[in-house]
Structure 1
Amino acid sequence: MLLHELVTTSGRVAATSGRLAKIELLAALLQRAAADEIETAIAALSGSLRQGRIGVGYAALRAARTERAADDPSLTLAAVDAALEQVARTRGLGSAAVKDRLLRELFAQGTEEEQEFLFRLLIGELRQGALQGLMVEAVARATGLDPDGVRRAAMLAGDLGVVARAALTDGAAGLARFQLELFRPLQPMLAQPADDVADALAQLGEAAFEYKLDGARIQVHRSGDEVRVFSRQLNDVTPAVPEVVDAARRL
């Protein structure tokens, strides 16, 4: 799949106000994606990278973006993913120069529209109205599966891209493979938006209110003396919180 196809869909989603229309656009794109493109497409359409952080700041990205753009679209989604994988894996002495070269080469292959999309994606400013909740619905629509089943599998896997690939290639049997597994972090439960307080109470019925305390949202997995701690972003932060590990072992 060409990056151009994904960029075009992203633009149409951003320009569309209706939720169902957005879902249809996203589902149609997912149905056209090859199996090895699905995870990359899901991440990009959600406004994130499959690789997570790639260790490049705003100034470096701005410098790497070339002034000259390609006339015609030829950059594939697979090529973008491979380039970003190289950038993410580049570390150590001289890594900044290598990352800069890789990003310049990537941007040079893109049209002006593709360059803008990549730049906004890489700085986390891709505002297109395709958040993960919408992507869950799009996966369900593309596969004909129940949205609750897709949502549950994504929660258990901690990665909607992996779930989408399983659903699009193996259907319900693919979703059934995702079960609760120790040391595989669960997607945290997040709040849902409401128009105002009255709307929130109407949705919830009876409600209790608590003070919101500052702190870190973590999940702790333990098997015997083995303890691992995961952040809200599902990163393994065990070495950073030895006191939490000790407390978990004493339980």
Structure 2
Amino acid sequence: MVEIKTDAALDAMREAGRVVARALAAVREAAGVGVSLKELDEAARTVLAEAGARSPFLGYRPSFAPTPFPAVICTSVNDAIVHGVPTDYRLRDGDLVSVDCGARLDGWTGDAAVSFTVGTPRPADLALIAATQQALDAGIAAARVGSRIGDVSHAIGSVARTAGCGMPADFGGHGIGRSMHEDPHVPNRGRPGRGLRLRHGLVIAIEPMLMAGGHDDYRTAPDGWTLCTVDGSRAAHIEHTVAVTEEGPRILTLP
């Protein structure tokens, strides 16, 4: 069931989105060579606690997962695409890191992700991150009243194809509101003019996941959570929670 939010609900979701943005900023500031992924998780936990927010990630267990998720952020490094579990791994010079974070505040949820490099960046990684950001921007621009989900999906997929990147076919964006995952599903590829028509008050999380190797296949790591590229190529993941409004797309997880 697709829930259309009131303008008051959008304002409340914006407050949850601000918490997510602050948590991601704190994680990015804490990240550096020698810092562990668990330390990044602690940085996000501190922001959520100070805001009086809860994590929709902590304890989450979808049907594919063998165990509940143990952290408030996903930390996906290098060939990890999404859903990386924070461990004692310490960041190394040149690592590409994707961090996904959510927050639930006063009954409403925000969800966003960033990708960045640690230490000396590889030019290819910077290009991959830029392409992922471009795909997100294209998806957001297509999220307008009267358009359809397929228009958003097509905009994302077109950028990825032009960049020569692959995307995991089974994963994409989603509706969001009182729960982190709601209808509708927002694929990262699709045909324009197809799917649900977008209305004022629909809120979706748009999240392109690009793989530099150009393949769409992925594998699941032994932890049962982390999705990785099959060829060891790098991946990037960037996400925003976006409200469809009569005035145009409203990004609810901006700083």
Structure with bigger helix share is 1
TM-score, length of structure 1 as denominator length: 0.29
Between the two structures, name the one with larger relative contact order (CA 8 Å, sep ≥ 6): 2
Point out the structure with max Rg over C-alpha: 1
TM-score, length of structure 2 as denominator length: 0.29
Structure with bigger strand share is 2
